[in-house]
C-alpha cells in the first residue's frame, strides 16, 4: 500500500459535507494512517464520478459511499476494506 491515500469529500461544502470530512479525519486518526484530504465541490466532476446524492466519500478517486453522513466507525471499516 502507498504511504498515503487521498480521501475526497464530494459535495457542495454544506454542513453534511463538513461533518463527513470531520468523521473521516477522526477515522484516519483512529487508524493512525496518513491521508491527504481533498474537497470536490464541482458538481459536474461529482456526477462524473458517479455520485448522484451528496455527500460522497472517495478514496484515491474511487467512490466508496454516498448519500449520507457516515460515522467514524463506518469510515474505519470502509478504509480497512479498501486497504486490505
Measured CA to CA, the distance from residue 83 to residue 50 in angstroms comes to: 21
**pLDDT at position 48 over 80:** yes
* Domains delineated in the chain: 4-83 (3.40.30.10)
Q: At what angle do helices 72-83 and 15-31 cross, to 10 degrees?
A: 60
Measured CA to CA, the distance from residue 7 to residue 76 in angstroms comes to: 12
Q: Please give the positions annotated as active site.
A: 14, 17
CA-based torsion, 49, 83, 26, 66: positive or negative:
positive
Q: What is the pTM of this model?
A: 0.92
| Dihedral angle, C-alpha 14, 70, 31, 7, nearest 10 ° | -50
What is the pLDDT confidence band of residue 4, given thresholds at 50, 70 and 90? confident
Average pLDDT over residues 31-59: 96
Amino acid at each position: 500500500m502507498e504511504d498515503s491515500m487521498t480521501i475526497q469529500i464530494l459535495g457542495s461544502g454544506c454542513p453534511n459535507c463538513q461533518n463527513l470530512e470531520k468523521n473521516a479525519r477522526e477515522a484516519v486518526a483512529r487508524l493512525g494512517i496518513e491521508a491527504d484530504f481533498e474537497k470536490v465541490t464541482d458538481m459536474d466532476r461529482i456526477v462524473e464520478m458517479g455520485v448522484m446524492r451528496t455527500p460522497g466519500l472517495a478514496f484515491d478517486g474511487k467512490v466508496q459511499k454516498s448519500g449520507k453522513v457516515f460515522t467514524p466507525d463506518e469510515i474505519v471499516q470502509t478504509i480497512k476494506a479498501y486497504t486490505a
